[in-house]
C-alpha cells in the first residue's frame, strides 16, 4: 500500500553534485498552495526538487463550484486528483512521488467521529514513515521542507505528514533504523513552511487599504487567527520566520500550479484575491522556519541551501 511507484516521474536517481530539495505534503494540491514558487525557482536554477505526497486526497471535497457538475469529479475524484497532481508537477518543473497512503478526511461534528480504518493518520509512525525514509535514502535530499506540529492547519493528514518528515530527517542517516530501505543518507537542514504567515497577510491587508481596495483579510485578521482557504483557523504559529526566499517572479507559475487542481481551487477564490503585482511589491517572498541544521547557519537566511553550497 505504501510503496512509491517508479513510474510517476523521471528516475529518482540523484545527479552527482546537484543540490536536492524534498518537500513533504499531505494531499495533492498542498504542493501548489505551500512553497510552490520556492520550488519552481529552485528547479529552474538547476536544483533537483522532489515532492512527496502522502495520500491521494480520496476523501477530499470538490471546492471549486465550477467542478460540481463534472462527471469525472463525481465518478472518480481520486483518479482526477492524480491527473491534477501530474499537471501541477509539470508546471512547477519538479519530480513527484506518491507515498501511497489513504486520505484520512477531515473529521467534523461534535463529538468528532473516529478516523477511517486504514487511513494515513491512523498508521503507526514507523509504518507511515518507512516509504519516506526509503525516498530520502534514494533521492538523497540536502534539505527537507515540512509543516509545523499543527500541520499548518490541524488536518490529521497534515499532522501525520509533519511527524513522518521529522522522523525521516532524524532516521534516514542511521543505518540501524529502517533496514531494507536503502543505504543511509543524512539530510542537512529541516524547515517548516509558513504559508499562512500572519505577518504576510497583515502587510497585504495594509497595502490594499492604502490603495483604497477591499481586503479579503480584514475579518480574519480581526479574529487574530488567519483562516486557510477552506475556512479553518490554524493555531497561531509557534516558530518565527528565519528564512525568506525571494521568488516573486514565480508567483504566476505558482498560480498555474494551483489552477491545475481544478477540483480543489476556485480561480475566483481566496488564493487569487490579491493581484500578483501587489504581492510582488509588498511580499515577494515565501517564508520558512529553520528547525534543525547540521551545517553552520547564520540567521536570517535568503537561501534554503545556505551553509551547504
Residue 39 in grid coordinates? 520550488
Cell of 155: 488536518
Instruction: Tell me if 162 is assigned to a ligand binding site.
Output: no
Cell readout for 195 is: 504559508
CA-based nearest residue to 113, from 164, 163, 69, 59: 59
Query: What is the Cα 189 distance to its own chain's centre?
Result: 16
158 in a known ligand binding site: yes
**Are the beta carbons of 26 and 34 closer than 8 angstroms?**
no
The CA distance from 28 to 85, in Å, is: 6
Q: Say whether 239 counts as a known binding-site residue.
A: no
- Regarding beta strands 143-146 and 95-101, do their DSSP bridges make them parallel or antiparallel, or are they unpaired? unpaired
How far apart (Å, rounded) are the C-alpha atoms in residues 122 and 115?
7
Annotated binding site: 27, 30, 158
Annotated binding site for Zn(2+): 27, 30, 158
Amino acid at each position: 500500500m505504501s510503496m512509491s511507484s517508479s513510474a510517476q516521474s523521471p528516475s529518482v536517481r540523484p545527479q552527482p553534485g546537484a543540490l536536492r530539495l524534498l518537500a513533504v505534503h499531505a494531499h495533492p494540491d498542498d504542493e501548489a498552495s505551500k512553497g510552490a514558487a520556492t520550488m519552481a525557482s529552485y528547479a529552474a536554477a538547476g536544483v533537483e526538487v522532489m515532492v512527496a505526497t502522502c495520500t491521494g486526497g480520496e476523501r477530499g471535497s470538490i471546492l471549486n463550484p465550477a467542478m460540481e457538475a463534472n462527471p469525472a469529479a463525481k465518478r472518480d475524484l481520486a483518479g482526477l486528483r492524480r491527473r491534477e497532481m501530474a499537471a501541477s508537477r509539470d508546471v512547477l518543473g519538479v519530480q513527484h512521488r506518491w507515498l501511497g497512503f489513504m486520505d484520512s478526511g477531515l473529521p467534523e461534528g461534535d463529538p468528532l467521529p473516529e478516523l477511517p480504518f486504514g487511513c494515513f493518520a491512523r498508521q503507526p509512525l514507523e509504518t507511515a514513515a518507512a516509504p519516506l525514509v526509503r525516498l530520502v535514502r534514494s533521492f538523497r535530499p540536502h534539505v527537507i521542507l515540512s509543516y509545523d506540529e499543527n500541520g499548518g492547519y490541524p488536518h490529521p493528514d497534515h499532522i501525520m505528514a509533519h511527524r513522518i518528515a521529522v522522523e525521516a530527517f532524524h532516521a534516514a542517516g542511521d543505518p540501524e533504523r529502517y533496514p531494507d530501505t536503502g543505504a543511509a543518507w543524512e539530510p542537512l537542514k529541516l524547515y517548516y513552511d509558513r504559508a499562512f504567515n500572519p505577518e504576510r497577510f497583515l502587510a497585504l491587508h495594509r497595502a490594499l487599504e492604502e490603495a483604497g481596495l477591499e481586503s479579503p483579510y480584514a475579518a480574519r485578521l480581526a479574529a487574530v487567527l488567519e483562516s486557510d482557504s477552506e475556512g479553518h483557523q490554524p493555531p497561531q504559529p509557534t516558530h518565527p520566520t528565519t528564512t525568506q526566499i525571494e521568488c516573486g517572479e514565480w508567483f504566476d507559475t505558482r498560480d498555474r500550479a494551483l489552477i491545475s487542481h481544478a477540483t480543489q481551487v476556485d480561480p475566483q477564490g481566496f488564493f487569487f484575491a490579491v493581484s500578483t503585482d501587489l504581492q510582488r511589491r509588498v511580499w515577494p517572498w515565501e517564508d520558512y522556519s529553520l528547525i534543525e541544521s547540521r551545517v553552520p547557519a547564520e540567521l536570517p537566511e535568503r537561501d534554503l541551501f545556505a551553509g551547504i553550497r
